[in-house]
Amino acid sequence: MKRLLLSTVIASIGMTGVAHAADDVPGVDVSNWTGEIDWPAVVAGGGKFAFVQATEGTNYRNPIFDSQYGGAAAAGLIRGAYHFAQPHESDGTAQADYFLQNGGNWVSDGQTLPGVLDLEDNPYQSKNGKNSCYGLTAKDMVSWITDWTKKYYEATGRRAIIYTTTSWWRTCTGDSKKFAANPLWLARWGSEPGELPKSWKKHTFWQSAEKGPLVGGGNAFNGSESRLKELANPPAEVRVSGRVGGRTSYAVTIANTGPHPVTNVKLSGRAFGGQRVVKAPGCTFSGTAVRCVVKELPRRKKITFVFTTKPRKSKGTVGINVTVGSVKLTLKAR
């Protein structure tokens, strides 16, 4: 199986109070407690992105989420929503679903960041009687996070961002290494990010101050503004795989595994080994050549093309070379 990134077929419809690298991009995070925000002032102060709390558990939605989230977008900020986890109240799948239905769903508009799973010390210990890890073992916590992130990925095609501290992650997940595919939003107030949890070799976002000079918390994206925009609007992703069904049958599957629908995906193939193509449903063919065009392939969908050939000889190596974009496959049989 090989992967093809199709950047041309995407469907589109002030600092933090401490020193950062010159190419770090400043931003903010806000919640209901922040209140109404002067977003144009955030932009004027140098802010480029904003995270807005959408939900908590399965029974709380930020009452001013719409105005905060919409206001950030209207001001031209790249923005994303976050969910404050309550792992002791319900399972990860249920909380991810609640988040998705209440503002956390990712959309392909070039301005929306992947959703965030906020994992930190239990702030309600005096009320719920749970410890900092919400009463879960490290194994159960990893399972809970897995369920949440899996549900979010299945619904959006995006890897959720994980917000946490190194201390909490070590204590409550046993310093799990299972989430390296998810971008890290590290919370550590100070002048340096410090040591990271084992899942990650670098942070994507860093919350360096509880209160920044713009509004809400002070944050920075670890990279350039163009990379930040790419995180909001990644290239489409297509996976190509092949299967040999003997000397006369070859199948090629094109699967859309990314967050965008893709269009005009072209496949070309040429049989070799002294054989010709005699059947290719949905494609055009002549002699040794075959050509197929996928006009549109929705997210999470796939299509399989089957090519039947007629060898001139009963022995010897035969097969077909297939090209899909920059991906090349050779399917052969003896």
pLDDT in tens, 136-164: 999 999 999 999 999 999 999 999 999 99
pLDDT band at 313 (very low <50, low <70, confident <90, very high): confident
Dist. CA 14–CA 155, nearest whole Å: 35
Q: Considering the chain, what percentage of its residues have pLDDT values greater than 70?
A: 93
Which is the catalytic residue, given 120, 140, 225, 230? 120
Residue 284: pLDDT over 70? yes
**Which pairs from 225-231 meet CB under 8 Å and 24+ separation?**
225/25, 225/48, 228/25, 228/48, 228/49, 228/78, 229/78, 229/110, 231/113, 231/114, 231/183, 231/204
Per-residue model confidence (pLDDT) at position 23: 61
Dist. CA 12–CA 6, nearest whole Å: 13
How many Cβ atoms are within 10 Å of 125's Cβ, its own excluded? 12
Per-residue model confidence (pLDDT) at position 215: 87
Cβ atoms of 158 and 259 within 8 Å: the answer is yes
Per-residue model confidence (pLDDT) at position 5: 42
Per-residue model confidence (pLDDT) at position 286: 97
Known active-site residue 121:
no
pLDDT band at 3 (very low <50, low <70, confident <90, very high): very low
Cβ atoms of 150 and 197 within 8 Å: the answer is no
Nearest to 77 by CA among 221, 258, 260, 189: 221
Known active-site residue 109:
no
326 or 78, greater pLDDT: 78
84 or 19, greater pLDDT: 84
As a whole number, mean pLDDT of residues 25-42 equals 95
As a whole number, mean pLDDT of residues 29-34 equals 94
Per-residue model confidence (pLDDT) at position 211: 87
pLDDT band at 8 (very low <50, low <70, confident <90, very high): very low
Q: How far is CA 127 from CA 40, 124, 130, 131, 134, in A?
A: 39, 5, 8, 11, 12
Known active-site residue 140:
no
Q: Is 156 buried (19+), middle (13-18) or exposed (0-12) by CB count in 10 A?
A: buried
Per-residue model confidence (pLDDT) at position 180: 97
Residue 208: pLDDT over 60? yes
Per-residue model confidence (pLDDT) at position 1: 52
The alpha helices in 221-318, defined as continuous H runs, are 225-232
pTM of the model: 0.81
Dist. CA 152–CA 96, nearest whole Å: 6
Task: Indicate the helix (H) or strand (E) that contains 75.
Answer: none
Per-residue model confidence (pLDDT) at position 212: 83
Task: Please count the helices (runs of H) and the strands (runs of E) in the chain.
Answer: 7, 19
9 or 189, greater pLDDT: 189
Which is the catalytic residue, given 24, 29, 56, 97? 29
Of 6-10, 28-32, 119-123, 219-223, the one with minimum mean pLDDT is 6-10
Which is the catalytic residue, given 24, 56, 97, 118? 118
